A and B are shown apart, each in its own frame.
Chain A
Amino acid sequence: MSNTDIEIVVDDPTAPEVNSPVVTSVRIVDVVVSLLLLALALTLGWDNWRTGAAWDSTGPQAGYFPFYLSVILGGASLYGLVTAFLSRKEAAETFVTQAQLRRVMAVFVPTLLFCLAMQFLGLYVASFLLVSTFMRVVGKIALWKSLLTAFVFTAVMFVTFDIAFDVIMPKGPLEAALGR
């Protein structure tokens, strides 16, 4: 009873275009990340040196192990920095195109807003807003479908976590008004 016909088709209305201009190359990101890691290694190394990275009567001090790890991390990032600078081969490799970045931001920014909203509105209200808005705006899905899906999803989450499993989540004014 297998069937050769294509039966499941899903479209992606906001897919990134293929020939979008390049924002940045892998090599540049590589250099930036290496620099950041190097800075991190220096900060952590300095902090551990302050804590004490030597030996005392009982053995290695608290900063000993992490200090040498920062040295290793620093060394490896320095090596990465040098190879990234020297290599010409990776120069052409695309890290992200404009269209791709737009799509990534289309999911990252709402996620950021969701995390912010969560502190004031509580997780459940924020999640209703996130799901419904995202489906409507990014997915171009009909409004009633978006609202219904978001409501059902949030309700299921609430019942599962808050009622059935007693997992405490941040709550806001709506939950307070409902007496939960």
Chain B
Amino acid sequence: MEAFGLLMHGFAVLLTWKTLVLMMVGLVLGIFVGVLPGLGGPNGVAILLPLTFTMDPTSAIVMLSCIYWGALFGGAITSILFNIPGEAWSVATTFDGYPMAQQGRAAEALTAAFTSSFIGSLVAVLLITFLAPMISSFALKFGPPEFFAVYLLTFCSFVGLGREAKHKTVISMSLGLLLAGVGMDTVSGQLRMTFGSTDLLRGINFLVAVIGLFGISEILLTMEERLALRGHAAGISLRVVLSVWRDLPKYWVTLLRSSFIGCWLGITPGGAIAASFMGYNLAKRFSKDPDGFGKGRIEGVFAPETAAHASGTAALLPMLALGIPGSGTAAILLGGLMVWGLNPGPLLFVEHKDFVWGLIASMYLGNVVGLVLVLTTVPIFASILRVPFAAVAPMIVVSCAIGAYAIQNAMFDIWLMLGFGVVGYVFKKIGIPLAPFTLALVLGNRAEDAFRLSMIGSGGDMKVFWSNGLVGSITTLAIVLLFWPVIDKLFGSFARLMRTSKSNA
């Protein structure tokens, strides 16, 4: 119950006018970002990060995480009303959400989406509240070999479990790790990969890369599409909200299943996108009436939204407890922690109690406030889409430039951002995933330090990664996950072999 007391303390930290106002501002900006095409959670957080540089860390993280919640809420609005997913994780919401809007049940679908988002993140926040302190106190015993093993596990699971072509994930990840190493070497103080350039001396800033990769490249990609749209407008009345809420208990299995899937995929680097599809597909498979899906079933809105939100929120658990982000946005928040001078990792729970519990409390409060906010202001946000993209695009470019420049006050970073914009555009089009790159860039230095420290500790003996049960099993698991596709195939052919030999006998 220690967690409960600390949580109450967190609420006390939050309940000042200033923080509440920041929270509202964050939520509104977040919904805005979620509704606009060409901007998503990671971009929004990355672009708006410079706003927080002069704030204290608690206010800053509260505002940024609220932008994230807002973006999660906002994605549903365009999916349902316009059949345009504002975010990749809201694609599954369009399957049943848009048909509902066509049948004149837009208000119902929106209420369902927002409510289930709320439920999903609530479950995940509860998980974080009770699990994160336990994991972090366990992780306090970790030495460099254990940390390296955990990093290795993160990287390997991306390669082994990702749906993209394996070599492309490897390219993206090793490129990120390499670029993280540019600049001064933290252990020996030597310069690496700078080629005599004074600008590269500082290294390649993670946030600059993210703003380019997600912000600029997204605009280039969006411009390729035809941007005309037609959509339904809807206001939500209290009567509709109450009637949807009255029916909620009927769908408790779907909600619970999706929350569980979301939490699981959020903690492991599966992500909100996979979670929303999986939530939807499982709801369809277990339904008594699977043919009704895709034609405007309310369950088809509940399932993916709950999963996406649970996953988006649960992605913050490994970031808080271990310093390893579970999603792209979590990686950016982690980058933010470093800017504010906090060292992410298990020590955060010991050294910065106010900060951590303030953040966790803000997850509760942000979701409640967010739910009320979206339910009351949907028509306003839907009409944002009336603003033509030709007006929005240059504004996003300017915001990106401000963000990139503000981090280190360097003109070089503007060019770097532009370069990463082009890289991101090309990579997305040829199917090189960007999430492993982001993760590798933010974790690169820490992973290398952990590796070298354990090597120094062991005198260069690789066996240190199998020196005790804990580190040994993490390392082994990492290697199994890396070769998972091969193992899976072997098992498959082995099983087939057994079957054929049995049928022959």
A167 close to B54 (CB less than 8 A)? yes
Given contacts A12-B226, A69-B174, A134-B390, A95 and B385 within 8 Å (CB-CB): no
Shortest Cβ gap from A125 to chain B (Å) = 11
A66 close to B178 (CB less than 8 A)? yes
Hey, what's the 0/1 contact readout for B167-181 against A, CB within 8 Å counting as 1? 110110011011001
Q: From the candidates A5, A16, A30, A153, name the one contacting B224 in the complex (CB within 8 A).
A: A16
For B389, B397, B398, which residue has the most chain A Cβ atoms within 10 angstroms? B398
Hey, what's the 0/1 contact readout for B422-437 against A, CB within 8 Å counting as 1? 1001110110100000
B224 close to A104 (CB less than 8 A)? yes
The distance in angstroms between the C-alpha atoms of A100 and B393, with both chains bound, is 16
Q: Which residue of A lies closest to B219 (CB)?
A: A107
A114 close to B397 (CB less than 8 A)? yes
Query: Which residues of chain A have C-beta atoms less than 8 A from B394's C-beta?
Result: 110, 114, 127, 130-131, 134-135
B393 close to A107 (CB less than 8 A)? yes
The distance in angstroms between the C-alpha atoms of A76 and B455, with both chains bound, is 26
Q: Which residue of B lies closest to A79 (CB)?
A: B167
Interface of chain B residues 213 through 262 with chain A (CB within 8 A): 216, 219-220, 223-224, 226-235, 237, 240
The distance in angstroms between the C-alpha atoms of A131 and B389, with both chains bound, is 11
Question: Total interface residues on B, using CB and 8 Å?
Answer: 84
Q: Contact residue range for chain A?
A: 35 or more
Check A35 for interface membership: any CB of B closer than 8 A.
no
The distance in angstroms between the C-alpha atoms of A6 and B230, with both chains bound, is 7
Hey, what's the 0/1 contact readout for B377-395 against A, CB within 8 Å counting as 1? 0000011011011110111
B401 close to A29 (CB less than 8 A)? no
Query: Which residues of chain B have C-beta atoms less than 8 A from A15's C-beta?
Result: 226-228
Hey, what's the 0/1 contact readout for A2-40 against B, CB within 8 Å counting as 1? 111111111110111000000000100110010001001
The distance in angstroms between the C-alpha atoms of A83 and B108, with both chains bound, is 49
The distance in angstroms between the C-alpha atoms of A131 and B193, with both chains bound, is 37
Q: From the candidates A5, A8, A170, name the one contacting B229 in the complex (CB within 8 A).
A: A8
Given contacts A2-B105, A8-B233, A167 and B411 within 8 Å (CB-CB): no
> What are 21 contact pairs spanning A and B, CB under 8 A?
A2-B232, A3-B106, A4-B102, A10-B386, A10-B388, A26-B430, A40-B175, A44-B193, A55-B460, A59-B455, A62-B188, A66-B178, A73-B174, A80-B168, A108-B422, A118-B414, A141-B390, A149-B391, A157-B399, A165-B51, A168-B409
